[in-house]
Structure formats: C-alpha cells, structure tokens
Amino acid sequence: MKNNRRNFLKIGGLAGIGIAGSGILNSFASESKSKLLTSTLNRRAYVQQFNMSGYGAPKIENVRAGFIGLGSRGPGHVMNLTKCEGVQVVGLSDLLAENVVKVQKKVEPLGHKPTLYSGSPDEWKKLCDRKDVDIIYIATPWDLHVPMALYAMEMGKHVFIEVPAAVTVEECWQLVETSERTRKHCMMLENTCYDFFELLTLNMARQGYFGELVHAEGAYIHNLLDLNFSKTGYQDMWRLKENATRRGSLYPTHGLGPVCQIMDINRGDKLDYLVSMQSNDFLMAARARELAATDAFYKPFANDTFNGNMNTTTIRTNKGRTIMIQHDVTSPRPYSRIHLISGTKGTALKYPEPGRISNTHSGWLSAADFKAAEEKYAPPIVKKVGEMAKKVGGHGGMDFLMDWRIIDCLRNGLPLDQDVYDAAAWSSVFPLSEWSVNNRSNSIDVPDFTGGSWRSNVPVDIDLKYGGTTQVRL
C-alpha cells in the first residue's frame, strides 16, 4: 500500500520540475502520463494512523515558543505572541544574525529572554532540540518548510508553518504521516481565514444564510513584480526563482483556505479533482531584460524563460460543488482575493472592497441592511478580540486574530481551526495544478489526506464556548 503511494509520488514529483514546461516530464506522452498518474493515485488508499481532525492536544498553560525565520513574516508572529497571556518567547533563529538581534531588542524589554540561533544553515535544529520549547513557528522560504516542520514534530513540538505548508505532494504526505504518528499539531498559518469578512461569511454559511453552497472563488492577485526583482525583497531572491522555475497556482491557499472552511472541506466534503490553465509570461522576462540592460546583477535572470502570469485552477468537490482559484503576482492589477460565496439562497463577494452580501429576494444589501447582518452574524472571536486585533495590526488585524486563537486553543486543549489535513490539501493544489498545466490542463485527482475520515469529521466552531480565556496585553 505504501509502495503504491510512493510510486505515485515519484511520478507526481516530476511535475515539480516544471522548468519552462521542459525536462523529464516532456519525455513522456501527455496522455499516457495522465492515465498513469491518475490510475496510480486511484489505486492507493491511506490507512490513517490517528485522526488529527478535532484533536485537542493536552493543555499547555504556559506556552514556550521558538521561531525560525525572522525576515518579513516571522517578526510579526513574535510580537503578536508577546501580547498573549501565558506565552514566553524562548528562542529566535534566522540564518542572518542581524535579523535575530533586531527581534531580540524588541522582545527583551517586554520580559522575554530568548536564546539566539544564527549564522549556520542548521542552527535552527538546536532550537528544536530543546526540551523547554512547546511550539515552533516556521517563516522561511517555501522549500524549507517541510524539512523544518518534520524535524520539529519529531522533537516533540507543535508546528505552525507559513504558507504554503508544502511544495510537493510527497511533502504533503510527510506532514500528515508525521503529525498523526507524533500527535503534534501541524497547522498552516493561513491568516486570510481570520480576516473579518471571511469570518463573517463563515459564520453566515454555518447558520444557513447562503442556503446550499454551490460555488466559490478565491485568488491571490497581488502585484509583486518589483518586490520579486528587488535585491533586498526576499533572501537570495528565492521567490523570484520559484516563479521562474515552477508553473501552476504557486500560492493557492490565501484564496482557497477560507472557502474550503466555508464548504467544510475535509469535514463532510472533500476536494475531488482539479484542472489548471496558465497564460504565457508577458511581464517577468521583459522586466529581467530591462534591469539587465543597466545592471549586470540581473543578466542571469535575463536568460531565464519565465513560466507565465495568470493561473486559473478549477476544483470539483465530492459533493459536486465547484471552486475557482486564481494566481497572478506580476500583472498591474488591484489586489484581490475575490472571496465569492454562491449558494441557493444568497451570495457574498469581498473584492473589490467593500464586501457585499445579497439574498434571493434582492440585489446587494443596502449599507444599513449589511450593517444589521454584520451585527447579527458577527463571530464570537471578533466580538471578543476584534477591536484589540485592529489596534495590534498585521494585515488589518487578521494576523493577530490567528495567533491569539492558536495560543488560546493550546492553553485550553482545544482543536485548532486548521489541521494538518487542511495544510496538506490546500497546499497540494500547488504541485497538482503544476502537473495539470504541464499536461495540457488534464484533470488530476486530489489525494484524500484524511484516509476517508472526511466523511465523519465535523467542523471546528470558532464559538469560544470552551475557550476565549487568554487575555490580551496591549
């Protein structure tokens, strides 16, 4: 059984090469590849070791936290946790010493005395090896997420990984297997699930406002062209290299995560199969040539063949619902995650902002009616922590809502809102969409990372009925 899965992963892993649509993948006929990969996937069945869905780990009254990666995202998580009752920052790790020292100077006046780890690619392991660490936050380049998470779980830590959690299907399975075996939480830090409009529509959906859900849309449309080509934007320009060498929906979870929660994916429904299509590149190669004309640093990039701008991936669920996810980080378009929810009784659409809601009896609700609906369906987490989260900030407050919720669940022994199956399923859209693009948009099955338990798993309610006890220190 395991051999069947490994064979599939060897084949599916070829999609990860995806360099300008060339290489090993094109040595096979597209049709035969599609049949081989899909049939191998359909033959395998994963036997779940332990169901992490709905699992509440033993309570941790005082959470001792370590952080790996203190570039753009990590410092925000550190500072958020310093504002939560019952948290001690015990370790900070980054390849660059200056990043670690910068955060150290911020937390020490708040009563935290972290040990610092930097200067060597493996220094982070020393942090994970410590017995006095309960959780590890990982905010590093994508390809380091899984190796770090696996090691940390093996060392007895709960792990919280920036998005996407994994970049290959094999890595997704590794996260699932390790989390189940160690019974350690492995949660992807999908902050958009905690944005205010997304939480509102989640609560409305669970109370039946939209009726039977039919279709949803999400996206990550964000013009990062200048940032990706910046010499100081990402360490060693790792994100530009991802966009240069891989196709597909590279960053699917910002749009996908919230709508999967609303559709109860992995908890009553499942992602069944997807198809993906990608445009040519009309922007990145031109920018590389433009920069190389005046700066020799960019000449190697001018020789690259970039893999396209807009990706559109469509997914069908086992219940027959559909989801559309788009990814474009290069076009000069206004920022959008779309967040469309369409049901038999109502609709919600976030972008372009402000968000709107309708029902079957009228068009978009008036401002007054929207305000009334917002008050009626306001989630308990927003009522309790929402205003404080806005003061703290971090993408308008959703970062703090997420980090506070994690700590509150750990301190109260509650299940997390996102589990390892969500991390795996949502992240798998990246490599699976890549395979589809490289194979003329053929469909490909999404693995059942729950081992069949999606049929009986139940949603986690963000109702604070058994939690909400963690105080905030502004």
pLDDT in tens, 207-216: 999 999 999 9
Per-residue model confidence as pLDDT tens digits over 260-318 = 999 999 999 999 999 999 999 999 999 999 999 999 999 988 877 788 999 999 999 99
Q: Is the pLDDT of residue 33 over 90?
A: no
Region class of 279: left (phi > 0), else alpha (psi between -120 and 50), else beta: beta
Instruction: Tell me: do 121 and 238 sit in the same domain.
Output: no
Sign of the four-CA dihedral 76, 87, 459, 461: negative
CATH number at residue 93: 3.40.50.720
The domain containing residue 111 runs over which residues? 63-189
Q: Is residue 168 part of a domain?
A: yes
Instruction: Tell me: do 257 and 323 sit in the same domain.
Output: yes
Residue 44's pLDDT band (boundaries 50, 70, 90)? low
pTM over 0.85: yes
Instruction: Tell me: do 35 and 74 sit in the same domain.
Output: no
Tell me the backbone φ, ψ of residue 204, rounded to 5 degrees: -65, -40
Per-residue model confidence as pLDDT tens digits over 198-246 = 999 999 999 999 999 999 999 999 999 999 999 999 989 999 988 888 8
97 and 106 Cβ atoms separated by less than 8 Å: no
Those residues whose C-beta lies under 8 Å from the C-beta of residue 380, and which sit 6 or more positions away, are: 462, 463, 464, 468
Q: Is residue 334 part of a domain?
A: yes
Q: Is residue 444 part of a domain?
A: yes
Instruction: Tell me: do 357 and 239 sit in the same domain.
Output: yes
Which residue, chain included where needed, has tokens 């995806």?
A: 18
Q: Is residue 391 part of a domain?
A: no
- Tell me the C-alpha distance between 192 and 386, whole Å: 14
